[in-house]
Amino acid sequence: MSGNTIGTIFRVTTWGESHGKAIGAVVDGCPPNIALAEADIQKELDRRRPGGGGAHSPRREEDRVEILSGTFEGKTTGTPISLIIHNTDAASGDYDEIRDLFRPGHGDITYRKKYGIRDHRGGGRASGRETAARVAAGAIARKILDGEEIEIVACTRELGGIRAKGTAPGTNALLCPDDEAARKMEARIEEARAAGDSLGGIVEVLVRGCPPGLGEPVFDKVDADLAKALMGIGTVKGVEIGAGFEAARMTGSACNDPITPEGFATNNAGGILAGITSGDEILIRAACKPIASIGKEQQTVDIHGEPASISVEGRHDVCVIPRIIPVCEAMVAITLADHLLRQRANRG
């Protein structure tokens, strides 16, 4: 299986399955002499850890990370950093009754057609469990960005059709900037849970302090790479930057950001022009589909192509938000750290 690695200089490879012994990542290309401890990574993992209630799955994983290589006396050495997170609360038996059925909305049927074999226990590599490895690697990328005072923060912009106002991430459980909207979202989550259904939403990511000049002007545009990184998350079905799809409904005079001696007067470009960062704030939104594993009965086929019905029991989130928020931040951090190091290499 290819396609497990992202990045050009700062390269991240994830490995492991949802119900295997462990998951993890190998980070290559991290510069030496960066202070790095397991606690730096753990604080990010704790943000996406299951078992928090609300929209979360009741699966309880400690998600304790171990650094196996690439550091010495609390600093990176410039060699590959290997990370491991053991799976301690997998309930593989939950999938025995549906092992021969393809779950709608999952990659079961496409994995089977591509490889001729699939891990039916939670989806294997296609499981959201794999994103813990991305978050762990993203924590290392953040250490590189911290040196340039680049800050990445994300919030819940929309959930279950309820849209939030405001900008700063809230202190509520959904990390929503609008407490009133958050209460409505929580109620919507409980409605979906009671109905055996699930919900989708939109995550908004804001990057502050990114210097101008990151990104290449043709195939390696930084906005293209950010979109690829976020679309590489299983739940994400759409990405927009700046004005996004709204730009298609604007005139050029309304869409263009006027340039003043003090900087850009507006930010419809989302901090990126011609694939290169402008120095303005980078604004990204990722649309996340509803959780595919639901209790409602659905139509499907079995591995022999015979019609069947399926109701997916077990321990599943009702909505990927807010657990997906640190994953989105991690993918943005990995992409920007890679482009930052590429820019340093270009300038010598």
Which CATH number belongs to the domain containing residue 185 in this structure?
3.60.150.10
What local confidence, expressed as pLDDT, does residue 96 receive?
Answer: 81
Compute CA distances 220 → 120, 168, 279, 334, whole Å: 36, 30, 18, 15
Check residue 94 and report its DSSP letter.
G
Report the SS3 class of residue 121: coil
Torsion of CA 135, 138, 143, 147, to 10 degrees: -140
What local confidence, expressed as pLDDT, does residue 124 receive?
Answer: 82
Q: State the burial class of residue 217 (Cβ atoms within 10 Å of its Cβ: 0-12, 13-18, 19+).
A: exposed
What local confidence, expressed as pLDDT, does residue 60 receive?
Answer: 64
Q: If phi over 0 gives left and psi between -120 and 50 gives alpha, with beta otherwise, what is residue 93?
A: alpha
Range of the domain at 215: 5-347
Q: Measured between alpha carbons, how far is 286 from 97 in angstroms, rounded to an integer?
A: 34
Q: Digits of tens for pLDDT over the chain (348 positions)?
A: 689 999 999 999 999 998 889 999 999 999 999 999 999 999 999 999 865 444 555 556 789 999 999 999 999 999 999 999 999 876 666 778 888 999 999 999 999 999 999 888 878 888 889 999 999 999 999 999 999 999 999 999 999 999 999 887 778 999 999 999 999 999 999 999 999 999 999 999 999 999 999 999 999 999 999 999 999 999 999 999 999 999 999 999 999 999 999 999 999 999 999 999 999 999 999 999 999 999 999 999 999 999 999 998 766 789 999 999 999 999 999 999 999 999 999 876
What local confidence, expressed as pLDDT, does residue 344 receive?
Answer: 93
What local confidence, expressed as pLDDT, does residue 90 receive?
Answer: 63
DSSP string, 254-270: HHS--EETTEES--TTT
Report the SS3 class of residue 72: strand
- Number of domains within the chain: 1
Check residue 302 and report its DSSP letter.
B
